[in-house]
Amino acid sequence: MSLVITPNSKQALSAKHQLQLLALPPAKRVRILKTLGRYERKLARQRIRTQTTVDGKKFAARENGKKTKMLKRMGKTLEPYVKASNRLELKHKANLTGRIAALHQEGGVERMTASRMARIHGKPDYKSPCTRSQAKALSAEGYKVRKAKGNGYRRASIKEIMASLNHGKAGLILRELRDDKRRNSWPIPVKARPFLGDSSANVQAQLATILNQLNKRG
């Protein structure tokens, strides 16, 4: 995902400032556009800090309800690049980071695989104790244990589940209760959280400010 600005299109720059910019040596135009790029990067990083979109709205919430901040690393790797001394691109150094940023910028569907999940979170220790989240999920699905006295079964408490099951067994029982067949891959919907972008009016105003500062310096 990248922000592309060409100063002489879509009124990104007034006619007066267009002529001034074109009259400058290419090296100076590059420096000016890189200065603009650093300004736009600052805006993008500020939006990530405040968790707001280009329009000033709050980022769409996580599907799992967690309140931790999103896109925390997306602003760190943004870099301004200038092509042919008249085209600014603000983009990520790594292509993979750029693809992830584009997915969050525009929204879409990410496909997760079991092998990728293992790379991200590591292979689970199936012999380790059952986690509280597993126990809560089992309780919600109606997991039961045999009654201590008499016949039949009763619903198990979260504490009992955690004390009696390991990670692997809990996961297996949970899949059986949910009738959930193991999948090699599954889709994860991602909501749009546009943090990169700007209006042509704001770009024009900032470029004009940079050029006016250049004029003052002589």
Query: What does the pLDDT profile of the chain (218 residues) look like in tens digits?
Result: 567 777 755 556 677 777 788 788 999 989 999 999 999 999 999 999 999 999 999 999 987 778 889 998 888 899 999 998 888 999 998 888 888 888 889 999 888 776 776 676 677 788 898 999 899 999 988 899 888 887 888 889 999 999 999 998 998 888 888 776 566 677 888 899 999 998 888 888 898 899 888 877 75
Distance from C-alpha of 118 to C-alpha of 126, rounded to nearest angstrom = 13
Which tokens hold the place of 68?
């931790």
* pLDDT value of residue 182: 61
Q: What is the largest CA-CA distance in the chain?
A: 95
Q: CB count, 10 Å around CB of 160? A: 15
* Contact of 13 with 21, CB cutoff 8 Å: yes
pLDDT attached to residue 80? 93
pLDDT on residue 10: 55
Does the pTM surpass 0.85? The reply is no
30: nearest Cα among 13, 7, 2:
7
Reported as a single tens digit per residue, the pLDDT across 45-90 is 999 999 999 999 999 998 777 888 999 888 889 999 999 888 899 9
Give pLDDT, residue 43: 95
Structure tokens at 154: 């009763």
